Amino acid sequence: MPNRHPLRYAATESRAVGFTVLEMLVVLMLIALIAAVTIPTFSGGVSTTQLKTAAREVAAGLRLARGQAIAQRTESVLELDVAARSFRVPPDPRVHALPPGIDLKLFTAQRDLSTDQVGAVRFYPDGGSNGGRITLAAGERKFDVDVDWLTGRVAILE
């Protein structure tokens, strides 16, 4: 048997025991990646993408109502049902439903409030409007869909 120095032999064995810092970092990153993917899947809340899509859908409905008012030279409205989370643009009978979990608020002229839960944003033949704001919120995130009273311009604000 060759003559081995005891300290050299012990040093080579200690390297084989345990994990390196790099291995630990890789494992922690994998755990973080798995958590980042799976936790939102099970949360059941409204994603930012769904909230923004809903805001864009409401803005498109408002723009449709404004376009109808200008093209037909008559008043046009977007009716919003806050309780049912839906809206429609008469005379089109289709009701556009928004995802559950989104909180809606409507700020508009008093004369355009049918009930506490149903109201409208009105557009005039010149393109103007009674003005208003529809707020879509989920938790801390929210989008405001503003309608300028003078020009009828529709804008989405974060």
In the chain, domain spans = 6-43, 48-157
β-strands 76-81, 96-97 pairing: unpaired
Kindly state the tokens that stand for 68: 């109808």
Q: Rounded CA gap, 60 and 127, in Å?
A: 15
Per-residue pLDDT of the chain (158 residues; tens, 9 = 90+): 556 655 555 555 555 577 788 888 899 999 998 888 776 666 567 788 888 999 999 999 999 999 999 999 999 999 999 999 999 999 888 999 998 889 999 999 899 998 889 999 999 999 999 999 999 998 888 999 999 999 999 999 98
Q: Which pLDDT does position 5 carry in this prediction?
A: 57
Query: What CATH number was assigned to the domain covering residues 48-157?
Result: 3.55.40.10
How many whole angstroms from its chain centre is CA 146? 16
